[in-house]
Structure 1
């Protein structure tokens, strides 16, 4: 594996540990052997297939039982390869004008945020913003993709949605983080919890306890 691909793989593993905080902590349900396919959706069928696969690779039954496999049980090398393939597929859908609904743009954003490439992360931000503009509930995702983009270009995050570790999960940090760029009132407008609560979430990371979300509960 080249150094670039190895670094990309590490980024994905760190993301998986971090993004797991978006949902309430729960024990994996190992009885689920295949992802749940929703019967009724306004999403493009091909895009729906891609986002279900994206989440299933990460052990999440997106439309069913939630987290069904632990991070340690996942094949991250295969996931990295699949992510590249999914990015190409979604780009084709975008180029052909086949993404039309708020669900389409929201799901496409989920797929593109799984990258360490700044261009992919900015696209994820644009897609989540588009979904929100169409009536989707993507304010937290807009903040998270902006934070991820900023950190990918070695700039401080500004909302406080990202946590990372450089030593295999022993020492967690939110740095680099410029806490003064936006206020807590502005964070609330983007469905992000205030600084004081973020510190409590960071403490949970550092203690190895189940992680909480930085999204304000019920915020739409």
Structure 2
């Protein structure tokens, strides 16, 4: 089955981030989006450890160990970028000042509930970070994840079985197989990878899907 690579997924997310947007990229997979933002658009990347105006990952020779994102990965700072207190950074997140956040996920429900900080396993290390603040504070929440788990289970579910990060907060899901909008009427498939048809996607998904063409 044809699938998008993680870098192709990041490039797909980047296409939908508009000019002038203030954006937080969550730890892990979403950080790759920074490397694919169109150069002709002015987009302001925020990190909860106190950065605004981040650029793409640096070349190995340009790594500054004191310039990192919330995931402790080296980043660059664009002209006009700035640093500020951790508390001020969370005030931006909680105060509704971010247009978009891009988060990873273990599960997303058909109503847009998000589970991305803990699997509930006894030996798993919880990692809330700023995810809860972002999920309720950003104007739009994009999720970036593989469609299926390593065991072949769909991550889009009727009801999340993992501890929740946020309730009815997800607007759009970007995966290696499809882009899915979460709407009041349920998940709507916006696009699919080449070679995948709707019936095959529905077969692997435990919730009812609809194609965008059916509702526009």
Do these two structures clear the TM 0.5 threshold for a shared fold by scoring above it? no
TM tier relative to shorter chain: 0.3 to 0.5
Q: If each structure's strand is expressed as a fraction of its own residues, which one has the higher value?
A: 2
Q: Could you tell me the TM-score, scaled by structure 1's length?
A: 0.34
Q: If each structure's helix is expressed as a fraction of its own residues, which one has the higher value?
A: 1
Q: Could you tell me the TM-score, scaled by structure 2's length?
A: 0.34
